Structures are given as C-alpha cells and as structure tokens.
Amino acid sequence: MTDRDEIRLARAALAWLTEPGTHVVHRLVGSVGATEALGRLVRGEVPEPAVRSAVTARLAAGDPYAVAEAALARAERLGARVVIPEDEEWPVRVADLERLRLTSAERKVDQETAPPLCLWARGRWPVSAALERSVAVVGSRAATPYGIHVATELGYGLAEREWTVVSGGAYGIDAAAHRGALTAGGLTVAVLACGLDRPYPVSNTALFDQIAETGLLVSEWLPGAEPLRHRFLIRNRVIAAATCGTVLVEAAARSGATQTMRRALSIGRRGMVVPGPVTSAMSVGAHELLREEPHARVVTGVPHVLEEVGRIGADLAPPARGPQHPRDQLDDESARVLEAMPGRGFIGPDALAARAGVDVRAALRKLSLLETLGLLVRRDGAYALAPTPRKARDVMST
C-alpha cells in the first residue's frame, strides 16, 4: 500500500468515525496528518469531550480501518471512488469553509462547518473539472409550478452556456434544475446526504443514474450511509462552497435552502434570489433573505446569473427594454411632425407645418422620413397616419 493509499484509507475511516464538518478533527488532520489523526481518535487522545464521546460510541460498532476497507471495495464495485485533498481532482474551493463561522449559531450542524475530509464520487468527470464553472440552484421541495418552471429554465440555460448545474437531488427545485441541465445535454452534479448507493429520495433513482452517466454524484458519506435529517444540513455547506454562486428559487419561511444561501454569502460566494409572488408561502424565505442579506442579488433569468458569476465584462446581462418601435428612432422635430398628424384623414404639408410649428421645407423632409419608416402614408400630395397592424392594436389596448 502506498502512502497515498494509507492516507485515503485513513480519511475514509475518519469520515465514518466522526460526522463530516467537525472542526476538531479537521484541525487535527491539518496538524498531524490523516493517519496519525485516526490513530489518536482510536486511542481516545482527543481533548474535546463531545468528539471523544461520539468516537467511542462509533468504535463500539466496528473497527474503522475494516469499515473503510469494506467501503472502498464497495465503491469500486459501484463504479465510484473516494477523492481526497491530496488528489489532483480535489475541488479546492471547499477549503474556504475553514473561515465559515455563522454568527449566533446554536445548533451543532450550524457550528460544525469544516471542509470535507474526503468526497465519494460516481461518474467519469474529475470533481475539480466538473465544479470549476458551476452554479448551485436550490430551493423548496414543495415547489410550485412557477418554481419548477424557473428552476428548469435556469438549469437548461446555464448548461447550454457550459456551466455546471449543482444541486442536492431532492424533489422540487433540485430535481427541476438537474433535469433542465440534462435536457440541454449539459453537466450536472448532485451532492447527496447519504451513501452513493442509497440515493434519496428513492423515487429519483432514475434521475441519479442519469446524472452519474453524464455528470457526477458526490457525497461525504461512505457507501451504505443512511440519509439522516441532519446530514442534509451538513451537506449544504459543500454545495455552497464548491460552486461560484448559489441561486435560490423558492424557499418557505424555514428552509434548508436558505441555509445554503447564507453559507454561500458567508464565504464570499455570489448569492442570488429569484423573486416570487408575495402571496406564495414558498417565496417567504426567499424574500426575507433579500431583506436581511445586503449582498444577496435579485435575478430573473440566466443572463442575470451569468452577470454575477461570469467573467467581468464578458457576461453582462442586457438591460431590460421593451419592444423596439420605429417611433423610438425619431429626432425631436420628426416626433413633433408625427404628433401633429390628425387622428383621421389626410392633411397637406402646409397645414401640417403650421400645426407642428416648423417651416414647410423642414416638414417635407420629416414627412419623407416618416413615410419611409412606415408611420405615414401619402396620397395625392397629402399625408395620413399609417394603419396600425391588428396585433399591435391588441397589444397597445392591453
């Protein structure tokens, strides 16, 4: 066994012995290495009582070295692998979790936000390459048709522009974003809160298989690990850190998706929120986040998202404009002539010049321009407003 193989085995064992994100374990690995850190935990040489107690409980369930070896063999049969920071394909952005400290965090899942010890991956793409140009799209499981539509459009549009779409594989917004990317023939990554061989929800198994075929399934937990509730909240920090930015599509008042967004903002990632109807319960969390987080930006489509996460000067969203009309091209004098036209019937140049307050020669020049633009019609030397197309009349009357 090579040194890297020993490190890989030790990191896999540590990931089983303690829950991912534990700061004490992360710091210990950073100071003495994964192999020595594992030995110290097994011997009970951990100053933190809570961690020592958790390790003791887990040791009663088995030998961490044997568990790790079995997990590596199981992953190989599954066509998966374990990726560690010593590998070239390690996603370096997750190291930013070292500086993530959420103010007034009371729950353990909000306090233990250290970078992953290792990542289990299934799919042909190197993890680092898949996540280099990536955007997370997250939101409510109980999404509305509006939210599903928006998430699908975002997933499709981002993938079409060769951005990786990252989400958690859940019902609602997550699944819609993944499916949008797949429909576009693009790359999508699902970050799971369980073992790669126990995809959750089970009804999305076909979706997970499709993602693994063309993209990546990623997890911090060993094969066989159950999708326990607190693991989804732990998982969210990886989605926030591994991507260039996070888009929140829909979120209720209490939602794990808003937690993902706050983590992204806390480590300097772009945080984007799609506004929803103020009458929708699925938009309450998104709107509150916009009120509370000054760095969160409103986005309404792919161009806005790319402007936030893309290259400076290269991915600017075009300004919102209404439909172009020939009237928009008129100079002030031409506009005065057009406005002086009677609503019905024809008028001669002399009478029109008097109504518009311009000399006749100027009126004749502007009349020729207005006729060329299709705004006026001429008959027997007189002019009238051109008929308005039926479609344009319908739009103007709404």
DSSP 162: T
Which of 30, 51, 70 is a domain's end point? Answer: 70
Helix (H) or strand (E) holding 120: strand 119-122
Please check whether residues 284 and 337 belong to one and the same domain. Answer: no
Please check whether residues 44 and 159 belong to one and the same domain. Answer: no
CA dist list (Å): 246 to 37, 139, 180, 278: 33, 10, 16, 22
Predicted pLDDT of residue 325: 67
Cα separation of the two ends of the chain: 74
What single-letter amino acid sits at 193? A
- Global pTM reads 0.80
Are the CB atoms for 134 and 281 separated by under 8 Å?
no
Please check whether residues 370 and 245 belong to one and the same domain. Answer: no
Q: Look-up: residue for tokens 């031409």?
A: 334
Q: Which two tokens stand for residue 309?
A: 């996460």
Q: Report CA 383 to chain centroid distance, whole Å.
A: 56
Which of 274, 309, 344 is a domain's end point? Answer: 309
Please check whether residues 202 and 292 belong to one and the same domain. Answer: yes
Please check whether residues 129 and 246 belong to one and the same domain. Answer: yes
Cα(9)–Cα(217) distance, rounded to whole angstroms? Answer: 20
Predicted pLDDT of residue 392: 38
Predicted pLDDT of residue 395: 36
Of the candidates 116, 188, 200, 191, the one whose C-alpha atom is nearest the C-alpha of residue 152 is 188
Q: Which domain holds residue 362?
A: 326-397
Instruction: Tell me, yes or no, whether 316 lies in a domain.
Output: no
- If you count them, how many residues does the chain have? 398
Which of 252, 278, 309 is a domain's end point? Answer: 309
What single-letter amino acid sits at 393? R
Please check whether residues 229 and 368 belong to one and the same domain. Answer: no
Instruction: Tell me, yes or no, whether 315 lies in a domain.
Output: no
Predicted pLDDT of residue 324: 59
Please check whether residues 340 and 374 belong to one and the same domain. Answer: yes
Please check whether residues 169 and 282 belong to one and the same domain. Answer: yes
Predicted pLDDT of residue 391: 41
Predicted pLDDT of residue 104: 56
Cα(85)–Cα(103) distance, rounded to whole angstroms? Answer: 28
Please check whether residues 55 and 84 belong to one and the same domain. Answer: no
Are the CB atoms for 257 and 251 separated by under 8 Å?
yes
Q: Mean pLDDT, 10 residues at a time, over the chain (398 residues)?
A: 91 95 94 96 90 93 95 96 97 92 63 92 97 97 96 97 97 97 97 94 95 97 94 95 97 87 94 95 94 95 94 52 66 89 90 89 89 89 80 39
